[in-house]
């Protein structure tokens, strides 16, 4: 019989298989996760709110019912920017303290349709921007877990739950996944419904998932698309053409991370797999500044109520974003959107030659301190382009903290990207 520790360390897919094969019950899995949370939550502080009794009762009920779906009886965490009727949605702000909605977000409903149990809401930053919550990095509590999907990344990394929802507008899935040593998956822009997610920047906001394996990310993708899950095929997992890209922000990464990324790229080249150092179209050089322009302009509109009526409850960080956005003209905003469209067209041609791009996920290890969440510099461009991205844990830094690599695919080619990422994950784990 598996111990609680062994149960919590199972992947989401293995937990699902255990329930389907009746080698584990939903109650056993929930009890193991709750025991882990009871042990670690006082230190990690990944949860904004949680209801252990209700979750355990739901697990008991699931054990008495026929299998409902691929997530039957499995505990899932929900980032606290995503609306839930049974838990408050506070968005990391005192403005919405204890506020509930009479509905669930579409993503939450789809998880429940697949049999998943919503264990609670994970900590986020204020309006998914830069002011951090209390969450600590489970690998070293003195370091940030990243933002804004901080609680989701920390809870999955610390074996409290097998999967959680997050969102990304700049780097809020990719960066915390890298810092916490888990898989962060941001799909092609628009793939997952944002119904029930308060917008910050409507041209950028993207729902995604945090898991511990690429296979689990693929499973969650099927759930959020309301499609049957077909396991990834390992024999087709490694592509033939990977473009290793420094990106225009290469020097923002520390020297250790740059060296290890180059070493990792070389190690991935074997057999019929080609890994080549490439340069992106020159239009991509402007994507970080373009992303900042569009994000600020749209945030100034989407957060206008909070700014006008609750400004004293807003942080200096979010006020600065809103005020910067107010200074951007509509003409400059339209020019930025047009620039993005041109870049997307050029990247579509780029992906005719390459299966995927390998790039940094973050500047390095998670920074010391909980007062900031780190720099999203290595995600802004890819998120702006609407491309699907994954962080895969790759190596340890000088302070023994995780550092991930980012794999980027062509727009709309998420299934191919996941297959590629599985092959990379397998090679990294050898």
Phi then psi for residue 17, to 5 deg, are -65, -40
Helix (H, G, I), strand (E, B) or coil at 301: helix
For 35-39, which contacts have Cβ atoms below 8 Å and span 24 or more sequence positions? 35/4, 36/4, 36/5, 36/8, 36/158, 36/159, 36/160, 37/160
Nearest CA to 109 among 34, 29, 197, 169? 197
Catalytic residue (one of 93, 107, 148, 237) = 148
Helix (H, G, I), strand (E, B) or coil at 77: strand
Distance CA 30, CA 8 (A): 9
CA distances from 417 to 132, 263, 428 (A): 31, 21, 16
Active site residue 79: yes
Across 247-312, where does the E strand assignment appear? 274-278
DSSP H helices in 195-253: 214-224
H helix and E strand count, the chain: 15, 11
Q: What is the largest CA-CA distance in the chain?
A: 65
Nearest CA to 87 among 65, 78, 95? 78
Catalytic residue (one of 93, 107, 172, 237) = 172
Phi then psi for residue 208, to 5 deg, are -150, -170
Give 185's strand partners. Answer: 209, 390
Active site residue 172: yes
Distance CA 78, CA 91 (A): 12
Helix (H, G, I), strand (E, B) or coil at 326: helix
Nearest CA to 112 among 223, 195, 227? 223
CA distances from 141 to 134, 149, 158, 199, 413 (A): 11, 17, 11, 30, 37
According to DSSP, the β-strands at 241-245 and 356-360 are parallel
Give 157's strand partners. Answer: none
Catalytic residue (one of 79, 121, 186, 292) = 79
Measured at the CA of 104, the angle between CA 100 and CA 108, to 5 degrees, comes to 130
Instruction: State how far Cα 21 lies from the chain centre.
Output: 30
The residues that are catalytic are 79, 148, 172
């Amino acid at each position: 019989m598996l111990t609680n520790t062994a149960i919590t360390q199972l992947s989401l897919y293995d937990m699902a298989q255990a329930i389907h094969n009746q080698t584990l019950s939903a109650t056993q899995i929930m009890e193991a996760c709750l025991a882990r949370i009871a042990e670690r939550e006082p230190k990690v502080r990944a949860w904004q709110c949680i209801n252990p009794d209700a979750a355990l009762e739901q697990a008991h009920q699931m054990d008495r019912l026929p299998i409902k779906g691929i997530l039957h009886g499995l505990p899932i965490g929900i980032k606290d920017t995503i609306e839930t009727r049974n838990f408050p949605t506070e968005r990391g702000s005192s403005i919405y303290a204890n506020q509930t909605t009479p509905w669930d977000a579409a993503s939450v409903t789809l998880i429940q349709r697949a049999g998943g149990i919503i264990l609670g809401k994970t900590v986020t930053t204020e309006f998914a921007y830069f002011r951090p919550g209390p969450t600590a990095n489970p690998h070293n509590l003195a370091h940030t877990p990243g933002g804004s999907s901080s609680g989701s990344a920390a809870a999955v990394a610390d074996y409290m739950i097998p999967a959680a929802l997050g969102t990304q507008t700049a780097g809020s899935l990719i960066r915390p996944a890298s810092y916490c040593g888990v898989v962060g998956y941001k799909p092609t822009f628009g793939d997952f419904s944002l119904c029930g997610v308060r917008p910050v920047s409507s041209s950028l906001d993207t729902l995604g998932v945090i898991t511990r394996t690429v296979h689990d990310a693929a499973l969650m993708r099927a759930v959020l698309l309301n499609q049957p899950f077909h396991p990834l095929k390992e024999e087709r997992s490694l592509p033939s053409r990977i473009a290793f890209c420094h990106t225009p922000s290469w020097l923002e990464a520390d020297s250790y991370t740059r060296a290890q990324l180059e070493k990792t790229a070389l190690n991935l080249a074997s057999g019929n797999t080609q890994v080549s150092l490439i340069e992106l179209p020159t239009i991509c050089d402007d994507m970080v500044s373009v992303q900042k322009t569009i994000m600020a302009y749209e945030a100034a509109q989407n957060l206008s109520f909070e700014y006008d009526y609750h400004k004293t409850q807003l942080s200096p960080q979010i006020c600065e974003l809103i005020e910067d956005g107010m200074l951007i003209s509509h003409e400059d905003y339209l020019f930025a959107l047009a620039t993005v469209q041109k870049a997307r067209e050029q990247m579509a041609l780029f992906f005719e030659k390459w299966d995927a791009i390998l790039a940094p996920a973050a500047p390095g290890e998670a920074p010391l301190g909980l007062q900031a969440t780190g720099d999203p510099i290595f995600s802004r461009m890819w998120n702006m382009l609407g491309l699907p991205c994954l962080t895969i844990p790759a190596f340890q830094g000088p302070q023994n903290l995780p550092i991930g690599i980012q794999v980027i695919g062509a727009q709309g080619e998420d299934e191919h990207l996941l297959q590629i990422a599985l092959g990379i994950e397998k090679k990294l784990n050898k």
